[in-house]
Amino acid sequence: MTIDDFIDRLPKVELHVHLVGSASVPTVLELSRRHPDSGVPTGEEELRAFYTFRDFPHFAEVYQAVNALVREPEDVASLVVGLARDLAPQNCRYVELQVTPYAHWVRGLPMRAVTEALDVAARRSLDEHGVEMAYIFDIPGEYGTEAARVTLDHALNEPPAALVGFGIGGIEQERPAYRDAYRDAFTAARAAGLHSVPHGGEMSGPETVWEVIEGYGAERIGHGINSLDDPRLVAHLRETQLPLDVCPTSNVCTGQVKRIEDHPLPRMLEEGLFVTLNSDDPPMFATTLAAEYRVAAHVFGMGQAQLAQFARNAVQASYLGQDGKRALLAEIDALA
């Protein structure tokens, strides 16, 4: 079979995708027509033009506009089920979806209502699209102590049934001002049995990766691409095989990497690091999970064996149950 046929048939796991950033054109149309006063286009042609980003500030503007469409619990559920609908044709079986509860809390959505919507959406995603949904609650790192408190409160006191992890995203350079609050939040979340899956080393240097390892007890790290600037950190990541969720197209779209050909993914593999492929904010970056595998194949020349290994890595780094992991790994091995 061709490499593209192989990618299409390969069972996949998505470990790094954001709730609002996952909203494709059909999902946004559903929300904008539900809330026609939002200013977000309600026609498909106009919305596709709206989704054509001029620059990163325009991306941020569109992201906030879509976030403002999430006003009711039904809107939260629509985003989750819409993601499952988009991932199912890509043969994606399991997702760990990053949700930012603080963004809904500041808009007045009660924690219990958001949780109920996430629970309903997880059931619908599996029943209607065959995609198993798990959740990671993440702190928006630029919003400080209140955001940490609200995120932790929701995670500990009103968690959805499929909550598996606790993370932090946003602007990494803002985190040092709230260092103790973030460390304390992760300590409490881990004590409650949640996995630590923070972003680190995306828009800042190795010092942020060290902080999430030493201060947050990271079990998996979002991005981590700037780890290569510190040989001691590279050695640590290689020795521990701490998984790094890499999102190549995202890194180009946000300006962290100048060109896709310059992405450090090949070097990360040469250094023996444990890497998974992910999409981050797929419609907003004009990508998909399958497209990230195509980047690995067509830009970096990776063959079926390496693509299958990416898929295995994602299964192994996930918090899917052991029976589910064994079944998926057997499917990947059979295809490979």
Residues contacting residue 318 through CB under 8 Å, at least 6 positions apart: 13, 15, 94, 96, 134, 325
Average pLDDT, the chain: 95
d(CA 97, CA 17): 6
Nearest to 247 by CA among 212, 211, 217, 202: 202
| Number of domains the chain is built from | 1
Burial-class residue 242 by CB neighbours within 10 Å (0-12, 13-18, 19+): buried
Q: Which residues pair with 296 in a beta bridge?
A: none
User: pLDDT, tens digit, for every residue of 218-234?
Assistant: 999 999 999 999 999 99
Kindly tell me if the per-residue pLDDT of 58 is higher than 90. no
User: Would you name the residues annotated as active-site residues?
Assistant: 202
Average pLDDT over residues 162-190: 97
Average pLDDT over residues 244-258: 94
Which has the higher per-residue pLDDT, 186 or 21?
186
Which has the higher per-residue pLDDT, 59 or 270?
270
Kindly tell me if the per-residue pLDDT of 55 is higher than 80. no
pTM of the model: 0.95
pLDDT band at residue 143 under the 50/70/90 scheme: very high
User: pLDDT, tens digit, for every residue of 71-107?
Assistant: 999 999 999 999 999 999 999 999 999 999 999 999 9
Q: Is 273 helix (H, G, I), strand (E, B) or coil?
A: coil
Q: Are 179 and 154 in contact (CB under 8 A)?
A: no
Give the pLDDT confidence score for residue 48 in this predicted structure.
85
d(CA 225, CA 202): 6
Burial-class residue 270 by CB neighbours within 10 Å (0-12, 13-18, 19+): exposed
pLDDT band at residue 262 under the 50/70/90 scheme: very high
At 62, list the tokens: 């569109």
pLDDT band at residue 65 under the 50/70/90 scheme: confident
- The boundaries of the domain holding residue 303 are 3-335
d(CA 70, CA 206): 35
Kindly tell me if the per-residue pLDDT of 280 is higher than 70. yes
Q: Is 167 helix (H, G, I), strand (E, B) or coil?
A: strand
What CATH number has the domain bearing residue 323? 3.20.20.140
